[in-house]
Amino acid sequence: MEEKPFPAWSWPVDQCLKEYQVKLEKGLSTYEVEKRRERYGLNELEKEKGKPLWRLVLEQFDDMLVKILLGAAFISFVLAYLHQDETGVSGFEAYVEPLVILLILVLNAIVGVWQESNAEKALEALKEMQGESAKVFRDGYLVPDLPARELVPGDIVELRVGDKVPADMRVATLKSSTLRVEQSSLTGESMPVTKSTDFLAVDDCELQAKENMVFAGTTIVNGSCICIVVNTGMCTEIGNIQKQIHDASLEESDTPLKKKLDEFGNRLTTAIGIVCLVVWAINYKYFLSWEVVDGWPSNVRFSFEKCTYYFKIAVALAVAAIPEGLPAVITTCLALGTKKMAQKNAIVRKLPSVETLGCTTVICSDKTGTLTTNQMSVSEFFTLGGKTTACRSFGVEGTTYDPKDGGIMDWNCYNMDANLLLMAEICAICNDAGVFCDGRLFKATGLPTEAALKVLVEKMGVPDNKARSKIRDAQIVSSYLIDRNTVKLGCCDWWMKRSKRVAALEFDRVRKSMGVIVREPNGSNRLLVKGAVESLLERSTYVQLADGSTVPIDESCRQLLLLRHLEMSSKGLRCLGLAYKDDLGELSGYYAETHPAHKKLLDPSCYSSIESDLVFVGVVGLRDPPREEVHKAVNDCRRAGIKIMVITGDNKSTAEAVCREIQLFSDGENLKGSSFTGKEFMALSSEQQIEILSKDGGKVFSRAEPRHKQDIVRMLKEMGEVVAMTGDGVNDAPALKLADIGIAMGITGTEVAKEASDMVLADDNFSTIVSAVAEGRSIYNNMKAFIRYMISSNIGEVISIFLTAALGIPECLIPVQLLWVNLVTDGPPATALGFNPADVDIMQKPPRKSNDALISSWVFFRYMVIGSYVGIATVGIFIVWYTQASFLGINLVSDGHTLVELSQLRNWGECSAWTNFTVSPFKAGNRLITFSDPCEYFTVGKVKAMTLSLSVLVAIEMFNSLNALSEDNSLIKMPPWRNPWLLVAMSVSFGLHSLILYVPFLADIFGIVPLSLNEWLLVILLSAPVILIDEVLKFVGRRRRQRTKLKAA
């Protein structure tokens, strides 16, 4: 039985130390460490055993179409071998067919194995997130760099700024007044979280609420502490995520297209089996005969040779019925789709995802870093004007840490008043952050809020003209430097040189503020403070006006400031108050640690009294802003019938404010039934959950943990939705893996998220998903076009062989010719259909249902009609060559061949019994076809008739590819030049066909001969009507649909 983990967050520190039998000042003994390592193992994530290569290879053959092809290859091989034994002739030609089929299957398997072996890298990326070493107390000594993998529960670890947390730990004591941890990649919170040692009086609470715990893979951004290791390895939160990723990978289901093709494969198997059996049975009289004596069969005669011959015809029929080129064309089309998507900044990691995107019905999006930039920025600030009853507000543009991204609206830095100058000074100096550029992305060092304040100072500028032009010159020079990583914050540097910082009063949770003492240019000290607005207003006795004068703060002024603060907070802004103080008493002359008043700065309990009687300056509103393009993308999704659900780890009010801003919800909309925390939603019954998820309109789930995200995605999939999940953090990885299509952010996304995804957005742009969905829909339509085209061609081949067998004439197409048509001749046009331009209204239609038929009953009927014509034309030209001197005014006997009766052609197997039957030699190109036995006229002599049949088949299929340009539209409305690639492909296919006709070596392999100009004319005349037939059928189809619409109206 699995032991229940100790809930360290819900117990005081003393109780935790008792539970783990350890003392803070000594740590564990070496003996105790060894004992615990035996019990808990090393502090590392488990390496999942990959599938062995042989199993991966075998899995590639677990597909109905592939199994049919394997069977056809095996039978072809046996028949080729038997034929070689009978005739004593051995040659490469006999084995072409089975070898080509096997080559296709081997290539298919190689691609499949390569894709799968690349699929499970997400787990490796997780390991890189773990800390490599830690400062640990062992046997009473501090071990400065113990490998993190050697940690065990109960170890005492010291953490400082910049350290990566190596295991899940309970905070025991703080060594600084405050401790902040960046855990957005694990929980989705946009801000660093302040940690404490206080215990929580609940056994079960969400990850974000565990404020006395630090988690493996997160980073300390402020302060230092001593912690007790609680969980290691696979028992950590990051270990749980690894388990969830692994479980999600086991739940991966086939793509909608794969399901349809498998279904099609199963039906095809049944159909092929029945037709082959019927063809073989129809011809039983040729290899099995008997006499009936007294009601019982006697003198039964069986011809193995003839039986094998008709069995070969049945195999030829199987080869004709299987679209061998289909897997290759689908892969090519998907590969072309990935290329198109890459040009639109969507990098597809798994080919089938291209098509899955097209039928996406729900996009579940993370908020932080996906809908928003995950970069704090100031969006507005306000101060008092010329009197205490009036506020002035300034809007700030820009959503990133790039100082050149946007500016302050209606701003003029040349005449900044005293109040705004002081605001810039506080933002620049009461600040420990910095900004650097990592390639294309600007990032913060230190706290994101502080970095945003520094960027604001750069947008505000400086009052000194000389300094301003110097800063501008430095910015121009920096854009040409090789080292672009360092971002020069010229305005902040100017303020820091002007007012030297001499001491800092660290932030703490009681007073909720941070202060610095600076030496002003006039030699006096000044205290600059920033913190929570309510907290600063309580400690302020004065307020500064625009001209720099200070007036006592009265109740009406305080209420005015609080009201403006409330307005900003309701927009989802995080507000910071700014204040200062000039009268510092004994700290007025403070200059260094040797000053007598320094002891006051060492005691954090004195900070509140130092930061009293403040002068209030103004309020700055910050936020993690929505990406500019998201608003339009949300509307596009709405028009395309795609639901959007936001699932985030951030708090409820922030999530709702962002959703209103991107217009997922309207401003006054009541969010009851649309907004839940993860815990609230999971507490509902499954019927209520399904009802909520089924309703139209947006949804937002806040404070969601990784398992909540997974559960929501799983529920949606069970409801029949096709789910795309977007995310950037480690916490998103399990849901990305489970979704039908996981989409990771390319710039801000963690490696774990990228490796778990099917698609990566190179520009982190949410609207790229909408473009990718449109591309996916277009690709599906094109795939439908070439699947219809290939299947209609195959129906024609099946009918031609069926007619051959039913009429009892010699086979007019042999398996190797059918294989050539299916693979080579049909391949280029089918691939070119993948370039069909998308419909203009493709994103105005609702997503197709995943159970929509690939081929509707009407389309199937159409292709049965077309197929019947293909079969009749192919077999017809074969019969015409043997029996008619001319056809459609074209002379057919100029080559000197002998004409026979149709009855003779149908009973050619009895030729040896005919008397006075003679045939003349005839010319085929430069060859003279001669016969040692007249009966060879129906085997060796059918070479010209067979060439005509093959040429008619190829030509009809080329014309038929024009029919496939549009499922319903006439060629007048959708002319061939709308897709010039199709015309190129038709030329290539005709070129390849000419190659096998006119190159002697290839002509021998395929058993064909060159054709004359007259014969080519006949081929075209018999092939072209296929366009007219389909145009009539399309017209009937359009009329049917119009009538249906009128009835519905």
Q: Name the residues annotated as catalytic.
A: 366
Residue (of 589, 575, 456, 581) closest to 528 by Cα position: 581
Which residue stretches of 290-372 are H helix? 304-321, 326-343, 353-358
Which segments of 446-548 are extended strands (E)?
500-508, 513-519, 525-531, 540-544
Residue (of 377, 411, 847, 443) closest to 628 by Cα position: 377
Which residue is listed with tokens 């997922």? 664
- CA-CA distance, 792 to 77, in Å (whole number)? 27
In terms of phi and psi (left: phi > 0; alpha: psi -120 to 50; beta: otherwise), the region of 585 is: left
Angle between helices 766-807 and 943-963 (to 10 degrees): 150
Write the DSSP assignment of 855-884 as a string of letters.
S-HHHHHHHHHHHHHHHHHHHHHHHHHHH-
- CA-CA distance, 423 to 580, in Å (whole number)? 9
Q: Rounded to an integer, what is the distance from CA 358 to the centroid of its chain?
A: 12
- CA-CA distance, 864 to 795, in Å (whole number)? 7
For the chain, how are helix, strand and coil distributed in percent, rounded to 5? 50, 15, 35
Q: Is the dihedral of CA 499, 500, 505, 508 positive or negative?
A: positive
- On whether the CB atoms of residues 817 and 1007 are closer than 8 A, the answer is yes
- CA-CA distance, 129 to 237, in Å (whole number)? 12
Angle between helices 304-321 and 64-87 (to 10 degrees): 150
The 8-class DSSP code of residue 192 comes to: P
**Tokens linked to 620:** 């700055």
Residue 539 parent element (H or E):
none
3-class secondary-structure state, position 989: helix
The 8-class DSSP code of residue 128 comes to: H
Q: Which residues are CB-contacts of 151 (< 8 A; sequence separation ≥ 6)?
A: 43, 134, 136, 157, 166, 167, 229, 232
The 8-class DSSP code of residue 836 comes to: P
Which segments of 245-295 are extended strands (E)?
288-293
- CA-CA distance, 819 to 103, in Å (whole number)? 13
- CA-CA distance, 430 to 286, in Å (whole number)? 101
Q: Which residues are CB-contacts of 314 (< 8 A; sequence separation ≥ 6)?
A: 276, 277, 279, 280
3-class secondary-structure state, position 135: strand
- CA-CA distance, 879 to 902, in Å (whole number)? 7
Which segments of 639-767 are extended strands (E)?
643-647, 675-677, 699-702, 723-727, 741-745, 759-761
3-class secondary-structure state, position 714: helix
φ/ψ of 647, rounded to 5, equals: -125, 110
Write the DSSP assignment of 559-615 as a string of letters.
HHHHHHHHHHHHTTPEEEEEEEES--GGGTT--STTSTTHHHHH-GGGHHHHT-SEE
Q: How far is CA 772 from CA 645, 738, 776, in A?
A: 18, 20, 6
Residue 30 parent element (H or E):
helix 30-40
